Amino acid sequence: MRGSVSSRPSAAAALLLVAALLTGCAAVATPADTEASAPRAPLTELTPLVDPRSHVGPSTATLTDARILPVAEAPTPSLPVTVTSHDLSGDVPVTVTDVSRVIAMDLSGSLAATVAGLGFAGRLVGRDISTTFPEARELPLVTAGGHSVNAEAVIALAPTLVITDGSIGPADVVQQLRDVGVTVVFVDRSTSFAGAVAQARQVAQALGVPETGELLATRIQDDVQRVTAEVARLAPAAASDRVRMAFVYLRGSAGIYYLFGKESGADDLIAALGGVDVAGELGWRGMQPLTDEAMVAADPDLILVMTDGLASVGGVDGLLAAKPAIALTAAGQHRRFVDMADGQILSFGPRSADVIDALARAVYAPDAAPSTSGTSPAPAP
């Protein structure tokens, strides 16, 4: 099944819209966020499915270790430092004088992971709802009911530096932090692996450790290149045999179903997995409400979802019942869904290569990856 769907509004606008819709849909820390998995064979030693397009049944992608491995242990910052803050209204110079108490907040949890990857996990004093890695899970939340920033909660933690990317807000709340004397630095939003590399450098500059930022940027880049090359050996060589994939965001309790297209991050992830981005193929951009027309036209072989999102619709059975158009696709007919923890699957940052590795196992060698996707799990809170 093929078709054409018109392009939608910009990715930036869509991202802000999704952030607003997420309010009240709090992610929770799961075992995937907090525990290390048993040792697994390298990707190079796995035997891939003969035909990954027709495999039947769901699978779950899990990280070998959800912790963040820093490139340096507590590096010494060189302060003060003046950096360019990429505010929503334009670039402004911001001088950072103290990084002893840091809050890094964004839609995907990537910024806090980057701070930890630079060796500053011990300086984090608060977290957003998407920051679920073990080193940060006990920190107090600064987002209320989802991804809405609670200014009072932030101010109560007396941060000396707040790092954000504009993906959560509202913007006037973040501005309020500056009004009471909190130093706020906006970095570029990361929705790609290249963006994660650039973000590592920007965050490091704000923390006064640019050399450490180069180390982390290089590690992310090298690790992603390495694991992508390994995945390429698992994926079918012929373009016509590659798995057609779609990323669908689900929140059944709110009736939210979104298809992620170009510039959403899902396209970069699918490319790294050696798959075909069916939403991008249709010209779909950003994150837009899923329509039956688009789903049937895309006809994916496999659908990527967030674990809590899948649970919120009643698992695979509930999703197919709620969205008959998905049931008509090859993915629906084969029950071919790959889920991963909400705070991991689109968290571009220090764990980028590990995320690709985990998803590749679930896509190409599901029998070697644990499957916890039940047919009718309890809805997420």
- Span 182-202, pLDDT tens digits: 999 999 988 899 999 999 999
* Per-residue model confidence as pLDDT tens digits over 207-257: 999 999 999 999 999 999 999 999 999 999 999 999 999 999 998 877 899
Q: What share of the chain is helix, strand, coil (3-state, %, to 5)?
A: 40, 15, 45
Are the C-beta atoms of 185 and 96 separated by less than 8 Å? yes
pLDDT for residue 37: 57
Note whether 67 and 33 are within 8 A (CB).
no
For residues 88 and 148, the answer to whether their CB atoms sit within 8 Å is no
Give the per-residue pLDDT at 201.
98
Residue 207 structure tokens: 């923390």
| pLDDT given for residue 252 in this prediction | 84
Contact 293, 5 (CB under 8 A): yes
Distance, in Å, from the CA atom of 203 to the CA atom of 214, rounded to the nearest integer, reads: 11
- Collect the ranges in the chain with pLDDT lower than 50: 1-31, 34, 370-381
Bridge pairing between strands 59-61 and 337-340: parallel
Q: How far apart are CA 200 and CA 349, in angstroms?
A: 8
In this prediction, residue 368 carries a pLDDT of 79
Structure tokens at 53: 């397009």
Q: How far apart are the first and last CA of the chain?
A: 36
CA distance 261 to 167: 17
- Provide the pLDDT for residue 15: 44
Q: What is residue 372's predicted lDDT score, i.e. its pLDDT?
A: 42
Domain with CATH 3.40.50.1980 in the chain: 11-67+238-368, 81-218
Specify whether domain 81-218 bears CATH 3.10.290.10: no
Give the pLDDT of residue 19: 45
Strand pairing partners for 148?
Answer: 144, 169
Q: Which residue has the tokens 């019942």?
A: 321
Measured CA to CA, the distance from residue 253 to residue 376 in angstroms comes to: 15
pLDDT of residue 27: 46
The domain made up of 11-67+238-368 is a member of CATH 3.40.50.300: no
Judge contact between 160 and 99, C-beta under 8 A: yes
Q: What is the pLDDT of residue 262?
A: 92
pTM over 0.85: yes
